[in-house]
């Protein structure tokens, strides 16, 4: 290979590295930050990262001496992709009332994953229930489709297995302080396909499935996955 040809080959190789590096490193760094729970999960980014990577890597193949365009190209794509992902897949909801105490405090701001399905017991979900004054509602999922749910003695049972409270604490004080609590929900409820039972973490001050019954999947609008501001600070919601 002649000297000019070798020099041109090195220039093209260096240009390829310079242009592709931001596109390769950015998704890797983003993925690492998500895994480390520094950033919230961002579903829907994979296809954008693939297109982004290919597009950036092809820049130096067209004009090697303009490889520096790879860096601004990366940021020019990154910002819109991030904004679109957040707008399409997430929304922010502010906690109102005391129904989720002590887990959530009034004024907490949560990031809601709109794509999440109610497939995990004990997850905190946002509901829109017809006829309820305060919508959206933020409640915890305790009863799954097909289960027989019963509320008695201040506890929740699904198929006769105690599912709430999870830690075995003594919620019988609910009945002692508010005897009417035991009458909020009478008799077992058989949940049908696509029906869920939700409860507030502070049952005496919560309107939930004990009052308005089972919630259909279409009324579940997303899962709270991240705290943006409030009692939990900024970070993953557990």
What band does 46 get if pLDDT is binned at 50, 70 and 90?
A: low
Backbone angles phi, psi at 63, to 5 degrees: -145, 90
Mean pLDDT of 217-233: 91
> What are the tens digits of pLDDT across the range 152-199?
776 788 998 888 877 655 444 444 444 444 445 556 889 999 999 999
Give 75 or 19, the one with higher predicted confidence: 75
Domains, the chain, with CATH or none: 3-89 (no CATH), 95-236 (2.10.109.10)
User: Judging by DSSP bridges, how do beta strands 137-143 and 124-127 pair with one another?
Assistant: antiparallel
Reported pTM: 0.72
How remote is the C-alpha of 188 from its chain's centroid? 31
Work out the mean pLDDT of the chain and round it to a whole number: 77
Instruction: Report the pLDDT value the prediction gives residue 125, as an integer from 0 to 100.
Output: 96
Say how many C-beta atoms besides its own lie within 10 A of residue 107's C-beta: 11
Q: Which two tokens stand for residue 180?
A: 């009417």
Say how many C-beta atoms besides its own lie within 10 A of residue 97's C-beta: 16
Helix and strand numbers, DSSP H then E, in the chain? 5, 12
Instruction: Report the pLDDT value the prediction gives residue 70, as an integer from 0 to 100.
Output: 58
> What are the tens digits of pLDDT across the range 118-165?
988 999 999 999 888 777 899 999 999 999 998 877 678 899 888 887
CA distance 52 to 198: 41
Crossing angle of the two packed helices 46-62 and 70-89, in degrees rounded to 10:
160
Say how many C-beta atoms besides its own lie within 10 A of residue 65's C-beta: 10
């Amino acid at each position: 290979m002649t000297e000019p040809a070798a020099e041109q080959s090195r220039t093209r190789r260096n240009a390829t590295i310079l242009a592709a590096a931001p596109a390769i490193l950015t998704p890797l760094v983003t993925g690492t930050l998500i895994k480390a729970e520094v950033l919230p999960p961002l579903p829907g980014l994979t296809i954008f990262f693939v297109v982004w990577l290919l597009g950036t890597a092809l820049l130096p193949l067209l004009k090697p001496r303009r490889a520096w365009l790879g860096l601004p190209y990366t940021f020019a794509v990154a910002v819109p992709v991030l904004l679109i992902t957040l707008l399409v897949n997430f929304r922010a909801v502010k906690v109102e009332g005391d129904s989720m105490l002590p887990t959530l405090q009034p004024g907490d701001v949560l990031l809601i994953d709109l794509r999440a399905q109610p497939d995990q017991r004990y997850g905190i979900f946002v509901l829109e229930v017809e006829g309820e004054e305060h919508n959206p509602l933020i409640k915890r999922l305790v009863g799954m489709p097909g289960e027989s749910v019963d509320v008695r003695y201040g506890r929740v049972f699904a198929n006769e297995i105690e599912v709430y409270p999870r830690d075995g604490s003594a919620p019988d004080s609910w009945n002692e302080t508010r005897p009417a609590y035991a009458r909020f929900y009478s008799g077992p409820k058989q949940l049908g396909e696509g029906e869920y039972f939700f409860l507030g973490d502070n049952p005496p001050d919560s309107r939930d499935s004990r009052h308005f019954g089972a919630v259909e999947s279409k009324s579940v609008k997303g899962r709270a996955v991240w705290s943006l501001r409030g009692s939990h600070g900024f970070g993953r919601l557990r």
